[in-house]
Amino acid sequence: MAVQLAETAPPPAKASPSSSVMAHAFKDAVITGLIALGLFTPLIGFETVIIDGALGLDYRPGTLAVMVGIIFVGRLLLNLTVWSPNRKPSVRSGPTIFDRAGTTIGPAVKPLLLAFAVGFPFIAAFAMGGMNESRYLIDLGILILTYVMLGWGLNIVVGLAGLLDLGYVAFYAVGAYTYALLATSAPINDFFAGFLGETFWANWAFWICLPMAGVFAGMWGMMLGFPVLRLRGDYLAIVTLAFGEIIRLVLINWVDFTGGGAGIASIPRATFFGVPFTAGENGFAALFGLQFNPMHRIIFLYFVILALALITAFATVRLRRLPVGRAWEALREDEIACRSLGINTTNVKLSAFATGAMFGGFAGCFFAVRAGFVSPESFTFDISAMILAIVVLGGMGSQIGVAVAAAVMIGGMEMLRNLGFLNQIFGGDFDPSLYRMLIFGFAMVAIMVWKPRGLVSTRAPTIFLKERKAVSGDHVKEGHG
Amino acid sequence: MDVFIQQLINGLTLGSIYGLIAIGYTMVFGIIGMVNFAHGDVFMVSSFIALICFLLVTTVLGITSIFLALAIVLVVAMFFTSLTNWAIERVAYRPLRGSFRLAPMISAIGMSIFLANFVQVSQGPRNKPVPPMVTDVIVLMDNNGYQVTLAWKQVIIMVVTAVLLMGFWYLVQKTSLGRAQRAVEQDRKMAALLGINVDHTISLTFVIGAALAAVAGVMYLMYYGVAHFADGFVPGVKAFTAAVLGGIGSLPGAVLGGLLIGLIEVFWSAYFSIEYKDVAAFSILAITLIFMPQGLLGRPEVEKV
């Protein structure tokens, strides 16, 4: 409430002489610089290095000076421009520029983005001058789409139902291991071989495992969700985090069943609905009279993940119009009001949790078939944090925002790696991917402080009287009560 | 019996460290009702600051007395960690006080990722081993070759923890700062009306929490002799478990919970399986929150509209 009051009633601008403004800004920047010096001295000023087996210290006064200088100059510039007392505060009412971009350009851009996503393998092949040369770009596309799908799946839980889930990677893992175990099935085979005969169990194909992965992940979502969904928001976050870690630790330590830290290798590859991508007579290429090319499989995988992601998006859009989807959004806005109106909050939360988990399971199954190898290493907390960061940056609840955030954060980092001039600035061994999680963490804090609802933060109501009005995220208060 | 006593000693040592970190969680939760997710990483940062300071003191200044060196390291680490946590609160949490409920939590998660990766980038991803600082042990029992030992570093950890907790207890119970803290905890608006500087009090809470985490960081470095950028996450979650188990918001509860978690972890490793010791700790967190959310010494939470 206080924030809104401050926005609608601007404080009277003080007519102070510019010299004192300058002096004040300078003093403030000096203080900030000194604090930054204190903060950075231990960790940037010194580096612990291991020389001949013993720990020694390296001194980096140059880097320290540059960092403190950046903070000082940045603060000074901010003091003189954005935070200057002479600057008239702009009175904001209604959607901001990002919101307007989201609501006006958004609908127009969506078909274009979709067309681009569908045509991407062909564009990539054309641009790179051949299918084999476009392998890198299509792999990158698959990676981005996997994160888009995971982001959309988590968006149901975090963005629509307002439940903070820090263990989303657990469902991704359940999906991946479902396919890995059912398709290679050495432990399951051994289990049944004893009393049902050696030939009882056959390996399952990808297209049967895909729905199974979703079902299993959804069931795990229900099992984990049922006891914890009574908890308040931040407790729920911590408990889901604990569950995510427990599942990972079990995967590492239950060596007989999951292969332990070594994981499960040589998982069967995807087939074109039963037709394998091989050079033989029954292969995909022979069937369609094409020349055999290993890229066919990669391009097919691209379309599989695109279809899965689109199914996620479509299901979310449709669910939002159903009573259960409306209940999710109502729950996000005010839980106590929901309960007063007779909504069974536990069931509603559980349905959101399980639906999100199911899509995580689909994505996990796809991950297993693409990589051909699963191990607990792929399902650390970092992945959960990354997916959450994508959802938060995209604006919780906004589909297009999540897609853009995934493309920028995953694809952008990957692109940075190939920019030669960065190496010339920062030295030869500069690897931007090391800074990826650093930037993710910083961006999460910055977005929360600057625009807590994400960059695209409008709330387009799914139900309305006569006319659909977009509401800026700043005017919606959620989670109070 | 020998094994039991040895594990009891080890468990109490580990529990003291968890208890020190847990106080930071419980105090911040008590005063602004937020789970300070980054606190475990603040602890990790403090052990790195301690490591660097220790190297400076021993190699550059050439101080040979290990106790003098440890005392200097403790003071320096407490100062810099407090400064770090103060800055974190100022930058990442204070602007969000009027925001929606999940905002501070998400910000704290971001800060946690940022801190861990900042240390990874600035100090490198490898383990940083320090030479053992205090190696002497006292043999308590010698039973056919199985020695029950109490290491001097364990004595130091327990004594320092106990002394600091007493000082801290005095601070919270008897001084005006402690009164202000408890007042802000009960009703922030009313406390402000009565002339308490709320921002200042909350900042000081973060500073105290960080100082205790720094003590834990120094002790951890001395006990295990290694610092690693990812070492904040698991101890952080365990300390949070301790805070929840003891009753979040309750200071004696945090210490009690810390000792309990330390004992459970050590006995679980000794008698059941060392692979699943983290699973045990995480399960306790889930079980406590589901069946006993108010913890051992906490007050039940009353939901107000």
- For B33-49, what is each residue's pLDDT tens digit? 888 889 999 999 999 99
DSSP string of chain B, one letter each residue: -HHHHHHHHHHHHHHHHHHHHHHHHHHHHHHH----TTHHHHHHHHHHHHHHHHHIIIIIS----HHHHHHHHHHHHHHHHHHHHHHHIIIIIGGGTTS-THHHHHHHHHHHHHHHHHHHHHH-SS-EE---S---EEEEEEETTEEEEEEHHHHHHHHHHHHHHHHHHHHHHHSHHHHHHHHHHH-HHHHHHTT--HHHHHHHHHHHHHHHHHHHHHHHHHHH-EE-TTTTHHHHHHHHHHHHHH-TT-HHHHHHHHHHHHHHHHHHHHHT-STTHHHHHHHHHHHHHHH-TTTTTPPPPPP--
CB–CB of B245/B201 below 8 Å? no
* Position A478 confidence tier, pLDDT thresholds 50, 70, 90: very low
Predicted pLDDT of residue B15: 92
Tens of pLDDT, residues B263-280: 999 998 888 877 788 888
Q: Whose CA is closest to A215, among A350, A355, A348?
A: A355
What does DSSP say about strands B137-143 and A46-51: parallel, antiparallel, or unpaired? unpaired
Residue among B5, B53, B51, B42 nearest B20 (CA): B42
Under a CB-based contact definition with an 8 Å cutoff, are residues A177 and A414 in contact? no
Mean pLDDT of A440-451: 85
Candidate from A438, A440, A452 with C-beta closest to B100: A452
The domain segmentation of chain A, as residue ranges, is 18-80, 97-475
Q: Indicate the DSSP class of residue A299.
A: H
Residues 6+ apart with CB under 8 A from A355: A156, A157, A218, A221, A315, A319
Pairwise CA distance, residues B29 & B37, whole Å: 11
Q: Is residue B59 part of a domain?
A: yes
Task: Judge contact between A376 and A187, C-beta under 8 A.
Answer: no
Q: What is the CA radius of gyration of chain A?
A: 26
pLDDT at residue A471 above 50?
yes
Residue B92 has pLDDT above 50, yes or no: yes
Dihedral of CA atoms B264, B265, B270, B276 in degrees, nearest 10, equals: 120
Does the pLDDT value for residue A459 go beyond 50? Answer: yes
Report the alpha-carbon distance of residue B215 to residue B164 in Å, rounded.
9
> Using a CB-CB distance cutoff of 8 angstroms, which residues of chain B are in contact with residue A381?
233
Q: Which tens digit of pLDDT belongs to each residue from B155-194?
A: 889 998 889 888 888 888 888 888 898 888 888 888 999 9
Which amino acid, A106? G
CB atoms within 10 A of CB A203: 13
Confidence bin at A454 (pLDDT 50/70/90): low
The architecture that CATH gives domain A97-475 is Orthogonal Bundle (1.10)
Tell me how far apart the alpha carbons of residues A22 and B193 are, in angstroms, rounded to a whole number.
Answer: 34
Q: What is the pLDDT of residue A443?
A: 85
Provide, as residue numbers in chain A, all residues whose Cβ is less than 8 Å from the Cβ of B189. none
Residues 413-442 on A with a CB inside 8 Å of B are 434-435, 437-438, 440-442
Which three-class secondary structure state does DSSP give residue A148? helix
Helices (H), A156-205: 169-184, 186-196
Tokens representing B238? Answer: 């365990």
Within a domain: residue B286?
no
Cβ of A435: how many Cβ atoms within 10 Å? 17
Which single residue is written with the structure tokens 């009753």?
B247
- Specify burial of residue A264 (Cβ count, 10 A radius: 0-12, 13-18, 19+): buried
Average pLDDT of A322-333? 88
Q: Which amino acid is at B110?
A: G
The neighbour count for residue A424, using CB atoms within 10 Å, is 10
Q: Is B116 on the interface with A (CB under 8 A)?
A: yes
Q: Is residue B193 less than 8 Å (CB to CB) from chain A?
A: no
pLDDT for the residue A477: 47
Provide the domain limits for residue B195.
2-230
pLDDT digits (tens, 9 = 90+) for A25-56: 888 888 888 988 888 888 888 888 877 777 77
CA A37 to chain CA mean position, Å: 34
Q: Which amino acid is present at A369?
A: V
Name every chain A residue with its beta carbon within 8 A of the beta carbon of B129: 50, 55
B238 has a pLDDT exceeding 60 = yes
Better-scored residue on pLDDT, A195 or B212: B212
Residue A11: count other Cβ atoms within 10 Å of its Cβ: 8
pLDDT of residue A2: 41
The minimal CB distance from A42 to the residues B49, B99, B273 is found for B49
Banded model confidence at residue A306, pLDDT cuts 50, 70, 90: very high
Contacting residues of B for A49, CB less than 8 Å apart: 124
Which residues 156-185 in chain B show a CB within 8 A of chain A?
A: none
pLDDT for position A6? 39
Please determine, for residue B230, whether its predicted confidence score (pLDDT) is greater than 90. Answer: no
pLDDT at A181 (0 to 100) = 86
* First and final C-alpha spacing in chain A: 14
For residue B290, tell me if it sits in a domain: no
Radius of gyration of chain B (CA): 19
Q: Which residue has the tokens 């807590």?
A: A452
Taking the Cβ of residue A389 and every Cβ of chain B, the question of whether any pair is shorter than 8 Å is answered with yes
Tell me: pLDDT of B304 over 80.
no
pLDDT for A362 beyond 90: yes
Share of chain A above pLDDT 70, in %: 78
Helix, strand, or coil here: A47? strand
- Contact A237/B at CB under 8 A: yes
Nearest CA in chain A to B60: A57
B128 bridge partner residues: B227
On whether residue B268 sits in a domain, the answer given is no
- The count of structural domains within chain B is 1
Cβ contact, residue pair B285, A239, below 8 Å: yes
Instruction: Assess contact for B129 and A55: CB atoms under 8 A.
Output: yes
Amino acid A465: pLDDT:
65
Reported as a single tens digit per residue, the pLDDT across A202-243 is 677 888 888 999 999 999 999 888 887 777 777 888 888 888
Classify residue A459 by its DSSP letter. Answer: B
